[in-house]
Structure 1
Amino acid sequence: MTPMKNGLVRYARDEHGVARIELTNPPANAYSYEMLRDLDDAILEARFDEKAHVILLTGAGEPPPPGAPPRTRFFCAGADIAMLGRVTTRFKYMFCLHANETMLRLEHTPKLVIAAIEGHCVGGGMEIAMSADLRVAARGTGKMGLPEVALGVLPGTGGTQRLSRLVGKARAIELMTEGTLIDFDRAQTLGLVNHVWEKDGFVDRALEYARGFCPPNKASLAVGHIKRAVQTGAEMALEQGLALERELQQRLFESDDAREGIAAYNEKRKPTFAGE
């Protein structure tokens, strides 16, 4: 994988069309302004890469020294608290604004984004994961939650807004005001996680899952447009959402994949999509 400018995020695209973005700031993958710059660059790299059909977000683990016990893994522990203790109030505001813009960039990218969570996913780390379209997690490797209330602040990079949209207002207020950390199976019952898999071979399974949304298996243009219709349309009134849906559908009708899909159905064969 290729490191971004500051070396805190790595990027690679495989031959199947999965663009993997990996947070690499051991031991907890806590994010700073520099990491957000790298993450922003990696998202743009995947967005403009015409051979990238799906984005997979992962957190790098730090292997223990020989003979040492296993380390606690983190997908991401959120913002670098030591950094926040050093900077000015104005910097903190700009930092939150930049984080908001970076996570919105994930939601606005017309490609499916999957967060593969192995290890603790807390605070800003969970806020990053919630900006993905789908979340899968490795059972027993960590917990997730938004415990910022213990610091006297609120989840300030999208947590209050995205969590309430995922689990409802009352449950979101409960989780954030109590600062509750929950395991991944509980997160799945609340709708925060789509799938929970065993930790052995987890990343390989996440990659295989992501490849299932790429050509020739799926029409990745349709997958991306479904994502955009939902992510943007959910914030609109029904009439405007339906108008957006029609426009996106028209773009798909003009695609090679739609022609292939309709022809394959009528000819009673399996379609072979090209992502075009």
Structure 2
Amino acid sequence: MTQISIVKLTPALWRVRFDNQPINLIDSQTVVELRAIVEAAEADPEVAVILFESANPDYFLAHWDLADDGALQASLPPGSTGQHPWLDVLIRISKLPVVTISAIRGRVRGAGSEFVLATDIRFASRERAVLGQFEMATGVVPGAGAPARLPRLVGRGRAIEIMAGAEDFDGDLAERYGYVNRAISDADFQDFITAFAARVARFDRRAIAELKQWVDPLTLPDDAEFPPQLDAFFAAVSRPEVLAHIGRLFDQGLQQPGPVEERLGEYAAQTAEPSEAVS
């Protein structure tokens, strides 16, 4: 593991920490390491809770690394779902017979947002968390599950607002919309997360698995919903106007620490070419 560390606080409670400096981008290596964690959890009869957190207080998972060529992902053997490796990881995380928790401090956008949407519970630091699906500002639709998961969480209108508006949401607004379960003051955040995870991890693992068996079919998207969304994403990112827009963002500092990544929703909108359909 070069990007992700795992500490088994007890047999029932795992703490998984993202640490891909400088801003915790997601790339093919992230997928490889997350798949290894998922496979370990699927095979472990004792784990009951997995807590995901970040070593970087400013970035939980920034977004997908747009410089990643995907070759490492393409070399992976098919996962158990038979889907694209990133989709495979997200689907399997959502269906683990354990409680998965995202402890969000810092920024989580794009594919990072789609990761936390695949976990069971999302807690956000009121002062430090920033969430968003910025893709529409660059001319593409989110491709790894947000159009399928967000409406089930926040409702149709708010889901379209989040994705079409491509703006950043702070912890309080994300809580109000249902994007996260709860926003907690940053001073109390670590203590709350640790206590909650430890509390659930003490419960009967079989009961947790049974709870997920009842809740999942009623709340999770069908696996068939995901591939067309990812196909549309891949088709969109190859369009010249999208590549040009992403290039302008790179010129201003995309994927480096600084104002573009700090306020990506704002910068992505500012660098967009006006639509020809708008007079």
Q: What TM-score comes out, normalization by structure 1 length? A: 0.71
Matched, 1:78 2:58: no
1:202 and 1:16, CA in 2 relative to 1: closer, same or farther beyond 3 A? farther
Q: Structure 1: which amino acid aligns with 2:62?
A: A
* Cα displacement string for residues 125-179 of structure 1 (whole angstroms, at most 9, x for unaligned residues): 1110000111111111131110111222111111111111111122111211110
Q: Among 15, 29, 32, which residue is 1:34 paired with?
A: 29
* Contact 1:145/1:181, CA 8 A, preserved across alignment: yes
- How far residue 52 of structure 1 moved from its aligned partner, in angstroms, is 1.6
- How far residue 118 of structure 1 moved from its aligned partner, in angstroms, is 0.7
Report the 3-state secondary structure (helix = DSSP H, G, I; strand = E; otherwise coil) of the residue aligned with 2:42.
Answer: helix
Q: Among 115, 127, 140, which residue is 1:140 paired with?
A: 127
When structure 1 is superposed on structure 2, of 226-235 and 181-190 the one drifting more is 226-235
Instruction: Report what 2:172 is aligned to.
Output: 185
Q: Among 205, 211, 227, which residue is 2:212 paired with?
A: 227
Q: Among 157, 163, 167, which residue is 2:150 paired with?
A: 163
Gaps of 5+ in 1: 62-71, 237-276
Q: What TM-score comes out, normalization by structure 2 length? A: 0.71
Structure 1: how far apart are the matches of 2:168 and 2:121?
20
- How far residue 43 of structure 1 moved from its aligned partner, in angstroms, is 1.9
Larger Rg belongs to: 1
Aligned length: 214
Matched, 1:57 2:52: yes
When structure 1 is superposed on structure 2, of 149-158 and 15-24 the one drifting more is 15-24
Instruction: Report what 1:271 is aligned to.
Output: none
* Contact 1:167/1:191, CA 8 A, preserved across alignment: yes
Q: Structure 2: which amino acid aligns with 1:23?
A: F
Structure 1 runs (4+) deviating above 6 angstroms are none
Structure 2: how far apart are the matches of 1:201 and 1:12?
22
* Contact 1:76/1:122, CA 8 A, preserved across alignment: yes
Q: Among 180, 183, 189, which residue is 1:196 paired with?
A: 183
Structure 2: how far apart are the matches of 1:114 and 1:235?
16
* Cα displacement string for residues 10-39 of structure 1 (whole angstroms, at most 9, x for unaligned residues): 112112621112111112211101111101
Report the 3-state secondary structure (helix = DSSP H, G, I; strand = E; otherwise coil) of the residue aligned with 1:81.
Answer: coil
* Contact 2:58/2:105, CA 8 A, preserved across alignment: yes
* Contact 1:213/1:220, CA 8 A, preserved across alignment: no
Instruction: Report what 1:268 is aligned to.
Output: none
* Cα displacement string for residues 205-224 of structure 1 (whole angstroms, at most 9, x for unaligned residues): 31221111122xx2232122
Q: Among 13, 18, 37, which residue is 1:23 paired with?
A: 18
Matched, 1:113 2:100: yes
Higher relative contact order (CA 8 A, sep 6+): 2
Instruction: Report what 1:214 is aligned to.
Output: 201
Structure 1: how far apart are the matches of 2:34 and 2:84?
14
Report the 3-state secondary structure (helix = DSSP H, G, I; strand = E; otherwise coil) of the residue aligned with 2:124.
Answer: strand
* Cα displacement string for residues 57-105 of structure 1 (whole angstroms, at most 9, x for unaligned residues): 11221xxxxxxxxxx701111100222xx569x96xx9x9211110111
Structure 1: how far apart are the matches of 2:195 and 2:219?
29
Gaps of 5+ in 2: 222-279
